């Protein structure tokens, strides 16, 4: 860095050297450089190999609050697998099928030409919305946001299932409604009783009651913008969500998860059959359901949404996860699956080597560097743990 700027909270020791285990030397080196450049101010990482923890650490301060391994961070789009897993549990129960028309469970979703969409299309993001990047509106209630999702228009020049249009929140909102109507439970209650509590994810929330919010408010860490400020300036970066309780407490199935990275890792460990997982046979079947590959043909060159900047559209997907090695790093095996969050959160499982990795930079940065640094940190962790799981490309 030059002498005219300094990273936010630079005067505070981030504790990287003390926090990162010695065996993760390349990981530490990368994080020290990223912090020195002001690209993040607080960080969490959890990693395990064949269910045995390798790392579980945090450091830094965000807007004056210390980040610990117990801090609740925003998961953003890395939230989506929670809803996908809940759907797969209902499939395993025999209550629904991925081939079911969505309208069998949520008839109003058939508006605007979407009557041909099936549950599997929502999981694999193959409903060609004209605006897949539209956002949940926290000032509206659940029913009003569901109505907006059901009225979303599609590009009728291509068929449902023929192209991929990544949806930030629409698909997850509708899947959550399917869960509620099929199970007879509130979506959050189903998630808590069938996924979070059985897996020991007690500090994970997708929406909070006022009492829950009060209980964990001091542990919530705002998402920040990465960057620098002029030396001596009193201007600090605003939180990405500005600490707005209305947004933090809202139940947003696609992007609203909050919790520590170790909780997120428990979900992936269950899908690998690692750790203290109840009903291993059930979770093995859920994993098989969601990891079914879902190839699609290349769309026509003049299809507008394909060129809208959503590079994730062109990646290989299963019925619930990104399965493209390019999302992770060259060292990842062809069996890898996971889900990033706004290019600041990463969660993955690699069955070939038994690796589960979750981390959050907790900083929203320029797209010019965001995806690239996710790849570099994944690569560093893979190299640091290669001897534990017999790593390397496969």
| Lowest-pLDDT choice from 18-32, 173-187, 229-243, 285-299 | 229-243
Q: Which residue has the higher pLDDT, 62 or 25?
A: 25
The tokens of 279 are what? 């009903």
pLDDT of residue 342: 84
CB within 8 Å of 370: residues ≥ 6 apart: 343, 344, 364
pLDDT of residue 227: 59
Residue range 160-176: mean pLDDT, rounded = 92
pLDDT of residue 14: 77
Confidence bin at 269 (pLDDT 50/70/90): very high
pLDDT in tens, 360-377: 999 888 777 777 899 999
pLDDT of residue 57: 97
pLDDT of residue 18: 93
Whole-angstrom distance, CA of residue 46 vs CA of residue 262: 5
Residue range 333-344: mean pLDDT, rounded = 93
Burial-class residue 9 by CB neighbours within 10 Å (0-12, 13-18, 19+).
Answer: buried
Mean pLDDT, the chain, integer? 86
End-to-end CA distance of the chain: 38
Token pair 């936010």 is found at 8
pLDDT of residue 130: 85
Residue range 187-216: mean pLDDT, rounded = 95
**Does residue 292 sit in helix, strand or coil?**
coil
pLDDT in tens, 50-99: 999 999 999 998 878 899 999 999 999 999 999 999 999 999 999 999 99
pLDDT of residue 9: 45
pLDDT of residue 11: 42
Most confident stretch, 205-219, 230-244, 285-299? 205-219
Return the half-sphere exposure (C-beta side, CA atoms, 13 A cut-off) of residue 20: 21
pLDDT in tens, 106-139: 999 999 999 999 999 999 999 999 877 677 777 7
pLDDT of residue 377: 97
CA angle 190, 194, 195 (to 5 degrees): 105
Percent of the chain with pLDDT over 70: 86
Whole-angstrom distance, CA of residue 159 vs CA of residue 382: 39
Q: Which residue has the higher pLDDT, 27 or 168?
A: 27
Percent of the chain with pLDDT over 90: 65
Residue range 318-339: mean pLDDT, rounded = 94
Residue range 326-355: mean pLDDT, rounded = 95
pLDDT of residue 273: 94
pLDDT of residue 15: 87
Residue range 266-270: mean pLDDT, rounded = 97
| Lowest-pLDDT choice from 22-36, 216-230, 267-281 | 216-230
pLDDT of residue 228: 45
pLDDT of residue 367: 73
pLDDT over 70 (residue 231):
no
Residue range 18-46: mean pLDDT, rounded = 94
pLDDT in tens, 5-22: 444 444 456 789 999 999
Are 97 and 131 in contact by the 8 Å Cβ rule? The answer is no
Whole-angstrom distance, CA of residue 366 vs CA of residue 47: 26
pLDDT in tens, 273-324: 987 788 999 999 999 999 999 888 665 555 555 434 446 777 889 999 999 9
Whole-angstrom distance, CA of residue 361 vs CA of residue 44: 7
pLDDT over 50 (residue 146):
yes
């Amino acid at each position: 860095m030059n002498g005219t700027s300094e990273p936010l909270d630079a005067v505070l020791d981030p504790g990287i050297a003390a926090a990162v285990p010695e065996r993760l030397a390349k990981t530490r080196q990368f994080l020290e450089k990223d912090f020195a450049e002001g690209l993040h101010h607080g960080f969490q990482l959890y990693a395990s190999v064949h269910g045995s923890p390798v790392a579980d650490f945090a450091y830094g301060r965000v807007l004056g609050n210390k980040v610990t391994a117990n801090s609740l961070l925003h998961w953003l789009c890395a939230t989506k697998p929670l809803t996908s897993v809940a759907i797969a549990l209902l499939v395993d129960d025999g209550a629904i099928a991925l081939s079911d028309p969505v309208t069998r469970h949520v008839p109003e979703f058939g508006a605007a030409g979407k009557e041909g969409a099936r549950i599997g299309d929502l999981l694999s993001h193959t409903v060609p919305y004209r605006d897949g990047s539209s956002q949940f509106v926290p000032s509206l209630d659940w029913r009003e946001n569901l109505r907006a999702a059901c009225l979303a228009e599609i590009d009728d020049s291509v068929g449902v299932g023929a192209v991929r249009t990544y949806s930030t929140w629409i698909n997850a909102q509708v899947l959550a409604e399917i869960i509620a109507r099929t199970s007879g439970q509130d979506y959050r209650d189903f998630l808590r009783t069938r996924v979070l509590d059985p897996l020991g994810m007690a500090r994970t929330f997708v929406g909070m009651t006022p009492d829950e919010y009060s209980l964990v408010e001091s542990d919530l860490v705002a998402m920040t913008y990465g960057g620098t400020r002029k030396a001596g300036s009193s201007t600090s970066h605003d939180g990405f969500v500005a600490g707005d309780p209305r947004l933090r407490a809202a139940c947003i199935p696609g992007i609203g998860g909050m919790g520590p990275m170790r909780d997120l890792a428990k979900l992936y460990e269950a899908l690998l059959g690692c750790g203290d997982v109840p009903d291993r046979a059930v979770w093995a079947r859920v994993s098989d359901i969601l990891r079914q590959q879902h190839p699609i043909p290349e769309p026509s060159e003049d299809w507008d949404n394909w060129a809208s900047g959503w590079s994730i559209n062109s990646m290989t997907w299963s019925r619930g996860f990104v399965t493209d090695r390019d999302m992770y790093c060259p060292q990842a095996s062809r069996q890898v699956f996971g889900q990033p969050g706004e290019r600041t959160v990463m969660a993955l499982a690699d069955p070939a080597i038994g690796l589960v990795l979750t981390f959050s930079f907790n900083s929203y940065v320029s797209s010019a560097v965001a995806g690239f640094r996710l790849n570099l940190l994944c690569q560093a962790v893979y190299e640091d743990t290669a001897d534990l799981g017999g790593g390397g490309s496969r």
